[in-house]
């Protein structure tokens, strides 16, 4: 773990260029707030270290890489699961109850 001196030095050396770009200033301030705490879990910005936040960042990076490579953002399997979920939710609304896969095979829609 970095001490406050190392954190400040890191910020000055590595993060200063990002502070010159207006769209990054807010996020940079949020992340710097984490470095100011000896125990980041006590920081008001601790949510930035959560698994959900890290997953969202990773998903965003993956989508950007795929878009840059002119590839679809979602695999065929992910798209199939998304479509199946939407159809299932629609049918549950229409039929007014939860639907099991075996129920779908017997139901005429």
Look up residue 30 and give its two tokens: 């949020």
DSSP letters spanning 11-74? IIIIIGGGGGSHHHHHHHHHHHHHHT-SSGGGSTTGGGGSHHHHHHHHHHHHHHHHHHTT--SS
**pLDDT (tens digit per residue) in 64-92:** 999 999 998 888 899 999 999 999 999 98
82, 65: one domain: no
Q: How many residues does the chain have?
A: 109
CA distance 48 to 54: 7
Judge whether residue 101 has pLDDT over 70.
Answer: no
State the total domains in the chain: 2
97, 67: one domain: no
Judge whether residue 98 has pLDDT over 60.
Answer: yes
| pLDDT for res 66 | 92
Judge whether residue 1 has pLDDT over 70.
Answer: no
2, 36: one domain: yes
82, 107: one domain: yes
The structure tokens 């490579």 sit at 69
46, 80: one domain: no
Look up residue 55 and give its two tokens: 């997953």
Look up residue 105 and give its two tokens: 């095979």
79, 107: one domain: yes
Judge whether residue 46 has pLDDT over 80.
Answer: yes
Q: Range of 53's domain? A: 1-73
35, 65: one domain: yes
The mean per-residue pLDDT over the stretch 4-13 comes to 78
């Amino acid at each position: 773990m970095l001490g406050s001196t190392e954190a400040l030095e890191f910020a000055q050396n590595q993060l200063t260029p990002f502070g010159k770009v207006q769209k990054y200033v807010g996020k940079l301030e949020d992340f710097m707030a984490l470095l100011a705490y000896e125990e980041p879990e006590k920081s008001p910005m601790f949510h930035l270290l959560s698994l959900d936040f890290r997953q969202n960042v990773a998903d965003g990076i993956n989508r950007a890489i795929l878009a840059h490579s002119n590839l679809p953002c979602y695999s065929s399997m992910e798209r199939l699961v998304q479509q199946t979920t939407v159809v299932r939710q629609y049918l549950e609304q229409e039929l007014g109850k939860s639907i099991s896969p075996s129920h779908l095979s017997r139901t005429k829609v």
